[in-house]
Amino acid sequence: MNHLKFGEDGERLAAAYLERLGWRIIDRNVRAGRGELDIIAMDGNELVIVEVRSRKIGKLSPSETTVGPRKIGRLLKSARIYVERAAYGGNWRIDVAAVTVDVSGNPRVELFSDVTMGMEGGFI
């Protein structure tokens, strides 16, 4: 399986996981500025931008550790553009959904909430 298909499958699994949690998926793969936002969802009354990272066990780093300061900065920039464009006036945050596939091909989704820890305006 090529890496693009693997990433698409990871995003689909993450979206299904979020829906099982009771979240409402608003959009997927949204271009905002120079970036792309994987999943836009509502967790209750809070808008959540979800970055999906997919990896197979055996890769050098776990999925969740591949979102460093540079990526978070880009996510914040794109998220702000999306929020302004949508004229959304409520609270919002950025989460990471880590999809890990084990050696048997079984996926596991783990959610890391508010990865910016309120940095710069999850509130506008």
Query: What is the pLDDT at residue 115?
Result: 87
Task: Retrieve residue 22's tokens.
Answer: 């009771």
Report the b/e string of 73-106 with b at 16+ CB within 10 A: ebbbebbbbbbeeeeeeeebbbbbbbbbbeeeee
Convert the pLDDT of each residue in 79-96 to its tens digit: 999 999 999 999 999 999
Topology at the third CATH level for domain 3-112: Trna Endonuclease; Chain: A, domain 1 (3.40.1350)
Predicted confidence band of residue 124 (pLDDT cuts 50, 70, 90): very low
When pLDDT is averaged across residues 4-19 and rounded to a whole number, the result is 89
Q: What angle do CA 26, 34, 17 make, to 5 degrees?
A: 30
SS3 of 22, please? Answer: coil
Convert the pLDDT of each residue in 45-74 to its tens digit: 999 999 999 887 765 555 566 676 788 889
Give domain limits for the chain: 3-112
Query: What is the pLDDT at residue 122?
Result: 44
